[in-house]
Amino acid sequence: MLGVLRSMLTTLSTTMRRPVTRQYPESHRPIPERERAFPLLLWDHGVDEPYCTGCQACERACPCKCMTVTMKDNPRQAEGTSKRRKIVDTFWIDYGRCMRCNICVEVCNFDAIAMNNTWTGIELSAYDRHDLVMDLDELLALSRAGGIVPWAEYVGEENQKLPPRAVQAARTLAGRGPA
Amino acid sequence: MVADFDTIDININVGPQHPSTHGVFRMVLTVDGELVRDLDAVVGYLHRGAEKLLENQDYRQGIGIQDRTEYLAQFPAEQSYVMAAEKLGGFVVPERAEYVRVICVELNRIASHFMFMGAYGTDVGVFGTSFIYGFRERERVYRFFEELTGERMMYSYFRVGGLAWEVMDGFEEKARALLQELKRGINDINGLLTRNEIFIARTRHVGEISAERAIEYGLSGPVLRSTGVRWDVRKDEPYSVYDRFDFDVPVGEFGDCYDRYMVRLEEMRQAVRIVEQALDQMPKSGPIMPEKMPRMLRLPAGEVYVPVESARGEYGVYLVSRGGNHPWRCRVKSPCFTNLQALREMTVGEYVADSVVILGSIDLVLSEVDR
Amino acid sequence: MMPVLGYWFGIAWLDAILRLAVIAGVMTVVVIFLTYAERKVIARVQQRLGPTRTGPAGLLQGVADALKLVLKEDLRPTTADRWVFELAPFMVFVPVFLTFVAVPFTRDLGVRFLSLGLFYIVAVSSLNIVGFIMAGWGSDNKYALLGGVRAAAQMISYEVPLVLTVLGVAMVASSLDIRVITERQDVVPYIVWQPLAFVVFIIAGLAEMNRTPFDIPVAESEVVGGPTVEYSGIRWSFFQLAEYSSLFVLSALGADLFLGGYIWPFGSNPPGWLQLILILVKTSFMILMIFWVRATFPRLRIDQLMSYCWKVLIPVTVAQLFFNGLVLVYRWPDILLLVFSGALLVGATAATAVAVRRAARRPRDAQAVRDRRLQYARGA
């Protein structure tokens, strides 16, 4: 019966250790910088328009065909405030289909798309699957508010030049504490 | 004179919604009291057409499908697929990338075996304790992977030719710290189950299969090695950089459920050894992709089969290319599907309670069986 | 303190009803607390937090569960045998309820003190087998049937060693009155004289209560809850109520019989409050042990369970009874009780361990064993 006693000692020893679970909605585990939640579009704060030109490279590369992109002429190029000749017109991503493979980020020529690495991208339960189809405004919202610091290797460095306050807010949101 | 009672055998339908069928597997047991007379395994509830999907996706997109085909040992599945494509295209993988791959694969093997230990304990009847022990350690590995790849489970980290991106800062220290914790986790499981008399009574001489029958069935992985056959793809047909490591291939004696458990437990220790050696030998810097990789991958026509030693056995990808950017045919050789064939032979003549344990000891991943 | 000797108000029937109401109330509270305690203890063993949401530290979790069960729809399968199905939970519950009657908690606190209390408890508690068979049969479900039959086999078999162990204690105390047995332990509790009886009492008790490692009838991973699989709502909660109150009764009984109950180690007549604390501490100790066992062990298989009972437990307990008889009849010194019982305990555990190890090492022809089993089952 020594084996039985050994089992009981093992369980006794784990009783002495700290719990490994946590109070989930209140206490988030810090999530790593490279976290890949769902793809988001980035906002060019310098010119005040999206980086995305609607070139559809991501749409073609998407393995589960969850994206729909259209392009239009950029009116601000005519005004002379922007260098982009074309700009995204509409952009839908069906988060219900997306499999978070990161390929869209890799193929993007303009570093216009990034994976959401904050908690906002993880808790996305919805009552209706249509609520998971995100349109252009929803995709840009987080970046426009300065709430995302994309990982440098996903997107170019220049996309990370965000206002410091926004960076701070994003880090808090991501459970990483103030910078 | 005792009256001759006519007893009838009843059919019990275990699954697809039974708590211990490890997914959506169904077995129809014909039982005579507590004794299993016949077993009919029904698979296919999780068929998602992964092979057909792979035919319609280019080589980079296919990697994500591989993760989902084998959702407990994702890295071996990815590795098999990218190695097949590399072999077809004749790419040489940089050494550093190979080492990172080996580390990932072996850690993934540990995570998968921990998952097995947890679920197996529950099958045998431990009230959740083994489950938590297993999941606790598995979660540590997954955290590490999340830090490395950005995803907890569906990594898509390997690429044809190398890796998607560089490892994170402090990779080596973090990996070593992880290994220390995993060793303690292995000891916990070991202390909880290995020498427990009740566990021995429940699993020893249960679901035995002889080495000859195992080979005839084409079993592989721990189920085969538990019968005493020392066959491990890593050792016998070394791929990647496995020939540079010093590790043992544990084998069992009787080919029963206890041996399958012990083989897996020992394999975890050996995996720790491999990771330690890999961390020592790994070049500290260097490329992770070959110099000249085309932006859009097009492989020459041909066919290739690449097996790897996954956590459950020989996982192989058979690729047929007719040129172009996607495979013409991609067939996945699933270890669980082959191992499942022996289930009937192992179970008939055992008790109802054992059928669950035997099923658990095969360590099923249904998505890989049905694909 | 409940005035137990003499009737309340002097009216017999009113008194009986009041006492029943008291038991029902106490049982509910005990069960609600025990479910919470079990979840919390097992959570700690498993390095989890356990219930934390309902009330402070999750204390109201049991209440919330009970409310939910009461409000839940009471389902009955259309093919079920109606009356058998609907009455089964009560058939399981009532015997446990009845055992509550005879357990003395302190010298003055108890429902009724019976001079044949031990006999009464043993007799009544074995009745709930009927309930499990009814549930298993009436549900018209194969899992339930399998579980019900398993329960019958197991509980009838383990009734025997349970009786034999309490008999050993009764012999030493030469009484069947639980209060007398308890009060004979003012110097040395009977666990010292009868260690084997204590261990077997816990083992057989676990089997009687269908708890790990003997939860074969209700095995979650095999028969998905066994006889209770088709029950929901209030009827299911009766099974739960029966399980946890029998846990409590058995632990209190074990404390009374083996651990010196409300007396030891404070002389022959400690004050009332101390008696209550003593019995609660000892009962909690027993319950904690049982929770710990539940969090640790795998489950036995039905044939191993039966052979363990008939080949190990019953022979050793009978042998213990025999030696007890020798010691008591010939008035040998009491220490010999311990010697015999302890030797049997050590011998039996060692023999079991060796048997398991040897069986594990011995190679065998698996296919032949299976074929023989199949043939034997056919009656060939």
Q: In Å, how far are A62, A129, B7, B97, B179 from A102, measured between CA atoms?
A: 9, 22, 60, 19, 28
b/e for B107-116, b at 16 or more Cβ within 10 A? bbbbbbbbbb
Q: Which amino acid is at A164?
A: P
What is the model's pLDDT at position B180? 92
Of C45, C298, C374, the CB nearest to B198: C298
B247 within domain boundaries: yes
Contact predicate B73/B112, CB 8 Å: yes
How many residues are listed for chain C in this entry? 380
A-facing residues of B in 11-70 (CB < 8 A) are 57, 60-65, 68
Among B117, B120, B166, B177, CA closest to B143: B177
What is the model's pLDDT at position C1? 39
Confidence class of residue B103 from pLDDT cuts 50, 70 and 90? very high
d(CA A77, CA B301): 46
| Chains touching A by CB (3 or more pairs below 8 Å) | B, C
Low pLDDT (below 50) residues in chain A? 176-179
A175 within domain boundaries: no
Among B272, B144, B126, B277, CA closest to B191: B126
Residues B276-296: pLDDT tens digits? 999 998 888 888 888 877 777
Among A121, A82, A70, A71, CA closest to A98: A121
Q: CATH number for the domain including A93?
A: 3.30.70.3270
Confidence class of residue B345 from pLDDT cuts 50, 70 and 90? confident
> B368: burial class by Cβ within 10 Å (0-12, 13-18, 19+)?
buried
Domain that holds residue B118: 49-370
Q: Which amino acid is at C252?
A: A
- Residue B288 DSSP SS3: coil
Low pLDDT (below 50) residues in chain C? 1-5, 380
What is the model's pLDDT at position B4? 66
Q: In Å, how far are C167, C172, C200, C335 from C325, measured between CA atoms?
A: 11, 9, 18, 14
Q: Following CA atoms C43, C44, C49, C53 in sequence, which dihedral angle do they give, to the nearest 10 degrees?
A: 70
- Within 13 Å of residue B281, how many CA atoms lie on the same side as its CB? 19
Verify whether the Cβ–Cβ distance A35 to B146 is below 8 Å.
yes
Treating both helix axes as pointing N-terminal to C-terminal, what angle do B129-149 and B171-189 enclose, rounded to 10 degrees?
170
Domain that holds residue A46: 33-149
- Within 13 Å of residue C269, how many CA atoms lie on the same side as its CB? 1
B23 within domain boundaries: no
Contact predicate B296/A103, CB 8 Å: no
Q: CATH number for the domain including B167?
A: 1.10.645.10
Residue located via tokens 């009978």: C318
Residues B122-141: pLDDT tens digits? 888 888 888 889 999 999 99
ipTM exceeding 0.90? Answer: no
Among C237, C225, C291, C232, CA closest to C63: C237
Of A4, A63, A117, the CB nearest to B197: A4
What is the model's pLDDT at position C3? 46
A120 within domain boundaries: yes
A23 within domain boundaries: no
Verify whether the Cβ–Cβ distance B32 to C377 is below 8 Å.
yes
* Res B10 pLDDT > 90: no
Number of H helices, E strands in chain A: 6, 7
What is the model's pLDDT at position B165? 82
What is the model's pLDDT at position C16? 79
A4 within domain boundaries: no
A176 within domain boundaries: no
Which residues in chain C are contacts of B19 at CB distance < 8 A? 220-221, 224
Residues C339-359: pLDDT tens digits? 888 888 899 888 888 888 888
Least Cα separation, residue A52 to chain C (angstroms): 45
B-facing residues of C in 88-117 (CB < 8 A) are none
Residue located via tokens 């956590």: B311
A156 within domain boundaries: no
A170 within domain boundaries: no
Measured CB to CB, residues of chain A less than 8 Å from chain C are: 1-4, 7-8, 10-12, 14-15, 17-23
Least Cα separation, residue B192 to chain A (angstroms): 4
d(CA C256, CA C272): 15
Residues B163-211: pLDDT tens digits? 888 888 888 899 999 999 999 999 989 988 888 888 888 888 888 888 8
Structure tokens at C44: 């700690």
Count of domains in chain A? 1
* Res B154 pLDDT > 50: yes
What is the model's pLDDT at position A153? 65
Of A7, A103, A115, the CB nearest to B192: A7
Structure tokens at B39: 């077993």
Contact predicate B369/B341, CB 8 Å: no
B34 within domain boundaries: no
> C224: burial class by Cβ within 10 Å (0-12, 13-18, 19+)?
buried
Treating both helix axes as pointing N-terminal to C-terminal, what angle do C142-173 and C233-258 enclose, rounded to 10 degrees?
20
* Res B108 pLDDT > 70: yes
Residue located via tokens 């095969």: B362
Q: In Å, how far are B358, C176, C299 from C370, measured between CA atoms?
A: 14, 47, 22
* Radius of gyration in angstroms for the set of CA atoms belonging to chain B, rounded to a whole number: 21
What is the model's pLDDT at position B152? 86
DSSP assigned state of B192: I
Among B223, B220, B259, CA closest to B236: B220
Count of domains in chain B? 1
What is the model's pLDDT at position B3? 58
* Res B263 pLDDT > 90: yes
What is the model's pLDDT at position B1? 47
Q: Which of A73-82, B29-38, B103-112 has the lowest mean pLDDT?
A: A73-82
Percent of chain B with pLDDT over 90: 22
A46 within domain boundaries: yes
d(CA C128, CA B219): 47
Structure tokens at B63: 């990697």
Which residues, 6+ apart, have CB-to-CB distance to A174 below 8 Å?
A30, A31, A35, A117, A118, A119, A149
Verify whether the Cβ–Cβ distance A63 to B61 is below 8 Å.
yes
Which residues in chain C are contacts of B344 at CB distance < 8 A? none
